[in-house]
Amino acid sequence: MSREKPEKPFLFFAMQLDDTPQLNKGRLFLCDYDKGILGRWVATSGLGAFQRIQGWSKQGGGVCPPTYECNPTFANYWVETKPIDLRNNPGVAGNGYPITPYEVRTKQGVTRSDLLIHKDANVPGSMGCIVLPSDEFTDFEQSWTDLVGHLEKVKLWVGYTY
């Protein structure tokens, strides 16, 4: 069964931040302005100990910075619809979908770069990428290919509650 391709797709990643060392899980949504939510997947970003307010300024384990905490601020990220093959990268071990801009600077002056959407390959969590458990990533990747594979890139918004 083929799904109707959205005209104006976008991604939204939302997750709760707190001061506990446990790994928080959020949700990654694929949406269309007119058609609503087209897909929803369990996802996370960062490592449990750094999933807190201003954790976006922690290199090597902090969460993906929300655009409103970047300097200068910008409206949204973009995610490439074609994957890069990172099978030989143990932290990814498969396809990764690059998030641009490639490099951002947080309001605290910390540079974060090389962010992707990919499966959670080895240790739970990420160094700032948005990662999905293997089964969720398989479903995400199939939907992503079917629904937005005809596009070059899709908008991404990142937001946290705390």
Mind listing the pLDDT tens digit for each residue in 57-94?
999 999 999 999 999 999 999 999 999 999 998 889 99
Give one DSSP letter per residue of 61-93, joined into a string.
TPPPPPGGGBSS--S-EEEESS-EEETT-TTT-
Structural domain boundaries enclosing 25: 9-161
In a domain, 41, yes or no: yes
The DSSP call for residue 97 is: E
In a domain, 60, yes or no: yes
In a domain, 138, yes or no: yes
CA dist 90 and 87 (Å) reads: 7
Q: What is the pTM of this model?
A: 0.95
CA dist 131 and 154 (Å) reads: 17
